[in-house]
Amino acid sequence: MTGCDRYGDLVAGYGFDALEAAERARFEAHLPGCPRCREAVTEVQRLRPLLDLAGGVEAATPEPPAMLEASVLAAIPHTGTFRPRRRNRGEHPHATSRRSPRRRLVPVLAAAVLIAILAVTVPGPGSPTPAGFRLRLASSGLQPHASAVALVRYRPWGTQVDLSVEHLAPTRGKEIYEAWFVSPHGRMSAGTFTVGASGHVQVTLAAAAHRGGYRMLGITLEPDGLHPGHHGPNVLRTRLPT
Amino acid sequence: MNESWRSAVSLKVKTEAETVAGLRGRNSQEATRALYRTYGAELYGFAVRRLGDAGLAEELVQDVFTRAWHHSDRYEPARASVRTWLYAIARNALIDAERRRGRRPPVQPGEHPGDPADPDEPIETALLRHQIHLAVSRLTADHRQVIQLVHFRGLSLVEVAELTHLPVGTVKSRLHYASANLRLALQELEVLP
C-alpha cells in the first residue's frame, strides 16, 4: 500500500479520489510505469466499498456487560463445579450420561448433604424488592462475625447476584471465596472473589441458574482458587425464595 | 510476509487451536475464559447490532460458547480459524434466536442499545458490516476523522487541511496511515486476505 519512494505519499489520496486536479494528473502520468503504485492504489480502492457497507466511521461497538463472562463460564458444564472424571481407554471423553451409578450419585449426595447442612439455622427467603429479592446470608459459624446481603435478580440468561459482604476473613495465598447456587441435583458456581484486609467487598456475580432451580445460595472458602473442584468449607448461606 | 511475523501468526493459530481443544479438558474454565476474552466482546457487538436487544445478545453469546464447548472436538484448525469457526456457530445460533424471537413480543422502542439491523438482511452481510465496524473502531480518532471527511464527505486533501487547520502534508500522511492501518485491521479480522 506504500507505492514507490517518489510518489508513495499520493497513493492514498488518489485511491480515495482526494487529490487536487494538478496532483492527480501528475500521479496518473506516473502510474503506467510503476507496478508498485498501481498495486498500492488497488489496495486502497478495495477499502472503499467496505467503508460504504459500514456506512460511517462513528458507530461505537457495544461493550458487553461485565457479568456476561461469568454467565458464559457458569453455563459451561463442569465449569467450577465438578471436575470431569478421568477418561478410560476407548470411552467417549465427556459422556457424562455413561457415568456409573455410583459416580452419578456422588455429586447428588454431596449437594444433598450441603443442603442438609445449610438448612439448619439458615435464614428464610428475603423480601421482594422491585428489582429482585434482597437476602441476608448468615454465618455458618466458621467465621462468626461474617455477614452478607445479596440482591438476587432473575435475568433471561440466569441469575445476577449483587453481593455485599462484611467481616469476612481476608483471603491469603491461593484462597478465594466462591458463591454457589445449590439444588438437590448439584451446585453451580456463581463466581469467585477475594477479600482484602477490610473484610468488606461488593461484587456482582452471575450464573445460568434459573428461577426455581436452586434452593440455597452459599459462599465457601476455597483453599486453592486454581483448583475450583476442591470444595472448601461453607462460610455464609441463605435459602432462595421458591 | 517476513519470517518472524509468519511464525507469530502460526504460534497464535496453534495457541488458539489448543485453547479450543482445552475447552473439554481439565482446564475448561481457563480455556473458556481465554476464548471469551478474545472473542466475547466482538460476538456481543455483532449480536446487539443484529438483534437490537442487549438481553437477547447476552443469551446469544452464552449460547455460542456453550455450543463451542459441545462441538469443540469438531473444530479443525486446518480448515478455519477460531474466529471463523466461532462466527459460524454464532450464525447458526442467531438463526435459532431469530426464530425464537419470531414467537416473542417485539422489543419495545427505547430498549435498543443501538440501531437494530434490517431483519431481512442476510446474516453474512450483517457479519461483514460488523467486522468492518470493528476494524474501523481500532483506528485512532484522527484516522477515523480523515476517512470520514475524505470518503464519506467527499472532501479533497486540501479541503480537509483547511477544515482541520492542519498542513496538507500532515493530512496526506494521516490518510496514508489511516488506510494502511484499516487494511491491517481488516486483515486481522480476516475480511481481507
Taking an 8 Å cut-off on Cβ atoms, the answer to whether B183 and A43 are in contact is: yes
Contacts of residue A75, defined as CB under 8 A and 6 or more positions apart, other chains included, come to A157, A158, A208, B62, B65, B66
Interface of A with B in 51-90 (CB under 8 A): 51, 53-65, 68-69, 71-73, 75-80, 83-84
A220 CB within 8 Å of a chain B CB: no
Provide the percentage of residues in chain A whose pLDDT is more than 70.
69
Please tell me whether the interface predicted TM-score (ipTM) of this complex is above 0.90.
no
Same domain, A125 and A18: no
Answer whether residue A116 is part of any domain.
yes
Taking an 8 Å cut-off on Cβ atoms, the answer to whether B44 and A19 are in contact is: no
Determine the distance in angstroms separating the CA of B80 from the nearest CA of chain A, rounded to an integer.
Answer: 22
Same domain, A107 and A148: yes
Answer whether residue A171 is part of any domain.
yes
* Average confidence (pLDDT) over A185-211: 77
Provide the percentage of residues in chain A whose pLDDT is more than 90.
22
Write the residue in A51, A62, A76 that is nearest to B69 by C-beta: A76
Of A79, A99, A89, A122, nearest to A236 by C-alpha is A122
Same domain, A123 and A212: yes
- Mutation pick from B19, B24, B28, B130 vs chain A, by most beta carbons of A within 10 Å, is B28
The CA-atom distances, in angstroms, between A152 and each of A61, A158, A220 are 29, 10, 18
Same domain, A225 and A197: yes
Answer whether residue A1 is part of any domain.
no
Same domain, A167 and A233: yes
For residue B155, the model assigns a pLDDT of: 94
Answer whether residue A35 is part of any domain.
yes
Cβ count within 10 A of residue A221: 20
Answer whether residue A19 is part of any domain.
yes
Answer whether residue A2 is part of any domain.
no
Same domain, A25 and A113: no
Query: What's the CATH code of the domain at A39?
Result: 1.10.10.1320
Domains along the sequence of chain B with CATH:
3-118 (1.10.1740.10), 138-193 (1.10.10.10)
For residue A106, the model assigns a pLDDT of: 46
Of A125, A114, A81, nearest to A238 by C-alpha is A125
Taking an 8 Å cut-off on Cβ atoms, the answer to whether A157 and B136 are in contact is: no
Same domain, A47 and A160: no
Angle between helices B168-188 and B157-164 (to 10 degrees): 110
For residue A184, the model assigns a pLDDT of: 76
Same domain, A78 and A29: no
Q: How far apart are CA B6 and CA B34, in angstroms?
A: 23
Contacts of residue A188, defined as CB under 8 A and 6 or more positions apart, other chains included, come to A74, A81, A180, A181, A207, A208, A209, A214
For residue B104, the model assigns a pLDDT of: 45
Per-residue pLDDT of A50-108, as tens digits, reads 898 888 886 567 888 888 888 888 887 654 333 333 333 333 333 333 334 444 444 44
Determine the distance in angstroms separating the CA of B86 from the nearest CA of chain A, rounded to an integer.
Answer: 14
Chain B residues with beta carbon closer than 8 angstroms to that of A79: 28-29, 32
Burial of A186 (0-12, 13-18, 19+ CB in 10 A): middle
Answer whether residue A148 is part of any domain.
yes
Write the residue in B65, B113, B133 that is nearest to A54 by C-beta: B133
The CA-atom distances, in angstroms, between B157 and each of A14, A43, B144, B179, B180 are 10, 19, 15, 14, 17
Same domain, A127 and A226: yes
Kindly tell me the number of DSSP H helices and DSSP E strands found in chain B.
8, 0
Burial of A75 (0-12, 13-18, 19+ CB in 10 A): buried
Determine the distance in angstroms separating the CA of A189 from the nearest CA of chain B, rounded to an integer.
Answer: 11
- Mutation pick from A37, A43, A50 vs chain B, by most beta carbons of B within 10 Å, is A50
User: Strand pairing of A158-166 and A201-207?
Assistant: antiparallel
One digit per residue, pLDDT tens: chain B, 193 residues? Answer: 444 544 444 444 447 888 888 887 777 888 888 899 889 999 998 898 888 888 889 989 999 999 998 888 888 887 778 888 898 888 888 888 877 766 444 343 333 344 555 666 777 788 888 889 889 989 999 999 999 999 999 999 999 999 999 999 999 999 999 999 999 999 888 888 7
Same domain, A210 and A110: yes
Closest chain A residue by Cα to residue B183: A47
Domain extent at residue A78: 73-85+99-239
Same domain, A49 and A118: no
Answer whether residue A94 is part of any domain.
no
Per-residue pLDDT of A97-124, as tens digits, reads 333 444 444 444 555 554 444 444 344 4
SS3 B188: helix
Of B82, B189, B47, B159, nearest to A50 by C-alpha is B189
Same domain, A131 and A179: yes
For residue A240, the model assigns a pLDDT of: 86
Of A119, A202, A214, A87, nearest to A159 by C-alpha is A214
Contacts 24+ apart (CB under 8 A), B166-174: B169/A9, B171/B146, B172/A9, B172/A10, B172/A12, B172/A13, B173/A9, B174/B142, B174/B143, B174/B146
Tell me how long chain A is: 242
Paired strand residues for A166: A147
Cβ(A7)–Cβ(A25) under 8 Å?
no
Q: All 3 cell numbers of residue B108?
A: 419495545
Cβ(A242)–Cβ(A152) under 8 Å?
no
A229 CB within 8 Å of a chain B CB: no
The total number of structural domains in chain A stands at: 2
* Average confidence (pLDDT) over A194-216: 79
For residue A79, the model assigns a pLDDT of: 41
Query: What's the CATH code of the domain at A214?
Result: 2.60.40
For residue A208, the model assigns a pLDDT of: 64
